[in-house]
Chains A and B, each alone.
Chain A
């Protein structure tokens, strides 16, 4: 009896070993499947009589970027289909809308592209191009479509190189930019009037902004004097409409001369502004920690509950826009004032500027796995034609990618001309490195630390440590 038990144990052990060996083989077989890199066939389905394409963007009719969604659904798609019909081809084009916050949308696009499926054309933020390209999720247009098709496109001659740079990486075009933007300080003229402040406000230093906020606080109880984007919930909005405009105002770019900003005087100065706003009771710290904080800041501004807000021109044309905005203000043109963002002190900004701004901009890329790469490019070029760009404006202010269109519409809107003539000459761009979004997240966390009670010095020290880990050591980080 004992012998048989011993024998069974041996049998069991052999089986266990066999099972483990099987598992090891399975693991080995799956190893190496994580990375992927497939070749491209730009000529595939080039002569198809019938084809279907999908456009995806973080825009949805009646919600986020409603104007953009309506333009795609009501102008681009029907006109493109007609255009193809004239060429004897049957096109089926659909729009995949989305109304999520930018970070969630980015994850979705990355996962879509990674799985080798998804839409044929994706609207993405220019700052994602580097990391998506490094991952192999997107490819240079000439690789997907062929240089003979892409290079001769008339549009390139109309798009300024600095704007093309938004959708380029390592000197190659990955997509067609959809214009550029600039950041300004918005303020509610009515609230300013009630507080006895001049309504043609143009602050000349950070101190002046904070003094004005103090006045608003004293005169208008129940109104949040200033809301400066902070925290991780807002994602890149915190960096672009908060930390970076202040940083260039303190005379530093986030990346310059081979080094990232770490625990520097400029970063500590920026974080001190956050401390003065959120510990000084000038801004609402709870709002900055809310997952829906940015949307709520829009609503509050539109409702006259926030007096000063730093935002991009997007805010003017898509948020408080009187008819289609997500937080409509019927009296936008009379009530919403805008001013240039001052440097910390006059002459203290980058390039010794008195005023500063940050610019970015998204664009459209092609999915390298598109079944119809040629037709997708045709659609992309169609979306960026002069007619389509004018149609997209629909009478609204926006700095488009095309100079020919800008020249026509520039004078029509005071806000558009303000940004294009006064803000864009002062502006700065984010570095196009794949690691930038992670540095940006670290900076967002630093602002969140300050908003939730840490001292600027401590937050900056933590930030330095995080950045060192991200960019490859203390040698690539400026400090002191």
Chain B
């Protein structure tokens, strides 16, 4: 309010918000390109999803030619559909297991363990972790399938098991969780590396002098400094992981829907099952969940700024 008050004083009474004196037309001209992009790539697809979700549109058959408007029927069906909730539950397990606990934990551990090692070792390890992050998904998925396959897969060969274990069929969720930890740890590791450098060395030194154990140092010296980074990191990787489609390349949601996280569920419903209308409704629900998470993130960021 204080800022608004100051602005009020300098701006002319006719256009109280026009700080730089552009005039309404030119101001619109300035933001128009950005708005157009937002409109084309964000708002239009969202509305399109809303529209598809309100029809019985299918990939093939008579309702592909002339879809009928069904109103909220698809949403109603989604909210009473066990397979939708199962998919949400699997997504929750996937996000918690692979992002919130896995990538966060491993990323921090790596960053913490590497802070004092030789530069050469550090660079090599960083390069390897980064490699997992920057390789194209399809390549990575192929490598993992080759590694975990039952017949002649690398892991089974190393264990010397014949017949081998069909890892991705017997443990599909564990498979994609471990895969995603491996794939995404690089980001958390880099973020925590940067965050740890903000911990004043003098504090660490003091802790050492007073005889604090490693755990005590972490709890009382390091965490208070990096708490803000932890929050940002967790929210970001949560959003990414929630919408991640790569696990589909490993298990296709199977076997028997046991690893069908929400992105795979939508794909399977729309493209494999052909039920575009229903998957549109589910996509809309997912969009809302995403917006909710984004709001939490923005709110948390604001609180943090104020606290800082």
Q: Which A residues contact B (CB, under 8 angstroms)?
A: 1, 4-5, 7-8, 11, 23, 26-27, 30-31, 34-37, 103, 107, 110-111, 114, 128, 130-132, 134-137, 231-233, 286, 289-291, 296, 299, 434-435, 437-438, 441, 448-449, 452
Contacts and interface: CB of A to CB of B under 8 A. Distances in A.
B51 interface: yes
A286 B170 contact: yes
B47 interface: yes
B59 A233 contact: no
A110 B246 CA distance: 24
23 contacts: A4-B8, A5-B4, A27-B51, A30-B47, A30-B51, A34-B51, A35-B66, A107-B271, A110-B59, A110-B60, A134-B61, A137-B60, A137-B64, A232-B256, A289-B169, A289-B255, A290-B166, A290-B255, A291-B251, A291-B252, A435-B61, A437-B60, A448-B256
Contacts, number: 103
B60 A131 contact: yes
A134 B61 CA distance: 5
Most buried by A among B8, B55, B256, B271: B256
Given A1-B8, A107-B272, A289-B254, A34 B62 contact: no
Interface in B10-66: 16-17, 43-44, 47-48, 50-52, 55, 57-62, 64-66
Contacts of B255: 231, 233, 289-290, 448, 452
A134 B65 contact: yes
B224 interface: no
A469 to B, nearest CB: 10
A36 B48 CA distance: 16
Given A134-B65, A434-B60, A26 B47 contact: yes
B47 A23 contact: yes
Given A34-B52, A110-B60, A233-B255, A7 B65 contact: no
Contacts of B44: 26, 30
A75 B217 CA distance: 76
A452 B60 CA distance: 30
A369 to B, nearest CB: 15
A72 B293 CA distance: 53
B273 interface: yes
Contact of B64 (A4, A23, A135, A448): A135
Given A290-B169, A291-B254, A296-B151, A434 B61 contact: yes
Contacts of A110: 59-60, 274
Nearest to A288: B255
A4 B7 CA distance: 11
Contacts of A131: 60-61
Contacts of B150: 286, 290
A114 B64 contact: yes
Nearest to B52: A34
| Complex A-B, nearest 8 residue pairs according to Cβ-Cβ distance, in ascending order | A289-B255, A135-B64, A131-B60, A134-B62, A35-B66, A136-B65, A131-B61, A434-B61
Interface residues of B, number: 38
Contact of B254 (A132, A134, A233, A435): A233
A293 to B, nearest CB: 9
Interface of B: 1, 4-5, 8, 16-17, 43-44, 47-48, 50-52, 55, 57-62, 64-67, 150-151, 166, 169-170, 251-252, 254-256, 271-274
Nearest to A4: B16
Nearest to B35: A19
A34 B66 CA distance: 7
Contacts of A5: 1, 4
Contacts of A291: 251-252, 254
B60 A34 contact: no
A53 B16 CA distance: 64
Nearest to B67: A34
A289 B47 contact: no
A452 B273 CA distance: 21
A44 to B, nearest CB: 22
A434 B8 CA distance: 67
A452 B256 contact: yes
A1 B5 contact: yes
A281 to B, nearest CB: 13
A222 to B, nearest CB: 8
Contacts of B16: 4, 7-8
B62 A135 contact: yes
Nearest to A224: B163
A285 to B, nearest CB: 9
Contact of B60 (A23, A132, A286): A132
A236 B7 CA distance: 69
A441 B273 contact: yes
Nearest to A27: B47
A449 B16 CA distance: 67
A34 B63 CA distance: 10
A88 B60 CA distance: 40
Contacts of A111: 59
A265 B274 CA distance: 30
A434 B62 CA distance: 8
Contacts of B1: 5
A23 B5 contact: no
A449 B170 CA distance: 15
Nearest to A135: B64
Contacts of B254: 232-233, 289, 291
B66 to A, nearest CB: 4
Nearest to B255: A289
A128 B60 contact: yes
